[in-house]
Amino acid sequence: MDTKGHSFLDRVFNILKDETADEVPLIQFKHPKELEEILSNDLDISINVDDKELENSVRKILQYSVKTNKVTFRNQLYGPMDPYGLAGTWIAEAFNTSQYTFEVAPVFTLIELKMIEHILKLFGIPGGDGIFSPGGSVSMLYALVAARFKKFPEVKSKGMQKLPEMTIFTSEDSHYSIIKAAHWLGFGTESVISIKTNSSGQMIVNELNKAIERQLGLGKYPVFVNATAGTTVLGAIDDLEAIASVCKKYDIWMHVDACWGGGLMLSATLRKRLQGIQFADSISWNPHKMIGAPLQCSIFLLKEKGLLHEANAAAAQYLFQQDKFYDVRYDTGDKSVQCGRKIDSFKLWMMWKARGDIGLCKVMDHVMSISEFCLRSIAEREGFRLVSDTLQCPNICFWYIPVFMRKREENDEWWALIHKITPKLKELLTLSSRLMIAYTPLRHHKNFFRLAFTFHPVLEENHVLEILKSIEECGEMVNTDMV
């Protein structure tokens, strides 16, 4: 028996412990070609090495990797993972099985079903269905496939050729995955109608009404409305109740992209912000974002039981035999677009089992409390300016204006300079390993920063103030010669 590699597993914990220690910097940034040169021997796989040399290469690779476990990693809508989730990942990977049939994942199948049942109740659609997926983009594919199949079941066998020209509606601030899904599924990107948002980033429902009427007047078939509960940048939550009324009026499938904001449902006080989500035909939520489940961990929920299987089943005889020795209804893989599928539910189960509804509620409330503190601090701090003072999800968007810019006339030239200062400031923060933070333009707004807060690690007020201090200090290093 080949035991090569088994002893290396004993080293892994120490490697991870060392390379994620508090004193290790967030990032030692190198440009691509420079990094390629530094790691040229380590990246080469043409000749095998012993365990000691392999360990050295792994440590060197981690040395130049981003340490997402840091308080100062604020770059994306995910962050450090829940330690119970990490434990679940280690176990899931070690057992290396697939979620498609009960026979190879008996207890993991029951866990997935139990997690889906619990989350369906949480979102107000008990009796529905669901599946774990790799991420929100795949969940969007599931939603569009289900909506189309519900209206035109013949699409599964005959394709799109004889179907009416369908249209899809989404806010201008929604996630780009809906554009990709429309392309992949043959709707075409021009079928996606963008609906204007208000100053807080929420879809203007009256504009949605008018857009649907226009498409009907053109002889098109409105099939899908994508509402967002937590937009990527501003964290905006659409008026879900009003959108549900529109969808009911026109008999259109309502999907809620709650990939980011779905975590609010964990809080007894905050879930009212998502009032109306219970009327959705489908919902997507990414626990690997705000609540810290290890990547990847996404859930697609569906109100109608059985539709997911009908729309996606291919009935492969070598995998989903109907004459098995157990109840084949527990073979859930044919609901999926994937064949092999990781047991992602187990790491979420580990977190939930350890913390319970009450524990997760407390952390969610704390995250919003810290976000509110950050919002107030930025509003009161000289040199900082909020893009929006409305806090819907734990997103805070703002500009930092260096001292030399503060007394100038805020004309087009001034804003053009701010547009360049923001990415330069991000560069300084990254190269100094003080903070990784996202920036973006949005509609008429020039480049600004987005701070998004997640469950882990648990931030306190002093952490927020240190983050703002880093932005301030690096911001005052920027001058016109740099940009």
CA-closest candidate to residue 199, choices 30, 386, 54, 387: 387
Residue 283, phi then psi, degrees to nearest 5: -140, 140
Residue 58, phi then psi, degrees to nearest 5: -60, -45
Q: What is the pLDDT of residue 2?
A: 61
Output the DSSP codes for 14-70: HHHHHHTSTTS-S-----HHHHHHHTHHHH--SS---HHHHHHHHHHHHHTS--TTS
Amino acid identity of residue 135, one-letter, is G
Residue 24, phi then psi, degrees to nearest 5: -75, 130
Q: What is the pLDDT of residue 329?
A: 86
**How many whole angstroms separate alpha carbon 190 and alpha carbon 239?**
25
Residue 95, C-beta contacts closer than 8 angstroms, at least 6 positions apart: 343
The 10 Å Cβ neighbour count of residue 371 is 22
Q: What is the pLDDT of residue 312?
A: 83
Residue 389, C-beta contacts closer than 8 angstroms, at least 6 positions apart: 375, 379
Helix/strand/coil for 248: helix
Q: What is the pLDDT of residue 334?
A: 81
Q: What is the pLDDT of residue 189?
A: 97
CA-closest candidate to residue 70, choices 375, 365, 434: 434
The structure tokens 């059985």 sit at 306
Q: What is the pLDDT of residue 157?
A: 92
**How many whole angstroms separate alpha carbon 402 and alpha carbon 424?**
12
Q: What is the pLDDT of residue 322?
A: 86
Residue 79, C-beta contacts closer than 8 angstroms, at least 6 positions apart: 68, 73, 292, 454, 455, 456, 457
Q: What is the pLDDT of residue 3?
A: 67
- According to DSSP, the residues that pair with 194 across neighbouring strands are 170
Q: Alpha helices, DSSP H only, in 64-176?
A: 83-95, 106-122, 136-151, 155-158
Residue 462, C-beta contacts closer than 8 angstroms, at least 6 positions apart: none
Structural domains of the chain, with CATH: 8-66 (no CATH), 83-352 (3.40.640.10), 356-477 (3.90.1150.170)
Amino acid identity of residue 132, one-letter, is F
Name the E strands within 152-241: 166-171, 192-195, 221-228
Locate 130 and state its tokens. Answer: 């669901």
Residue 11, C-beta contacts closer than 8 angstroms, at least 6 positions apart: 51, 55
Q: What is the pLDDT of residue 286?
A: 97
Locate 334 and state its tokens. Answer: 């044919």
Question: Does pTM top 0.75 for this prediction?
Answer: yes
Over the stretch 178-233, which tens digit does the pLDDT of each residue have? 999 999 999 999 999 999 999 999 999 999 999 999 999 999 999 999 999 999 99
Q: What is the pLDDT of residue 333?
A: 81
| Average confidence (pLDDT) per 10 residues, the chain, 483 residues | 75 90 93 95 92 94 94 92 94 91 90 96 96 95 97 94 95 96 96 96 97 97 98 97 98 98 97 98 97 95 95 78 82 85 94 97 97 97 95 97 94 96 96 96 95 94 97 92 74
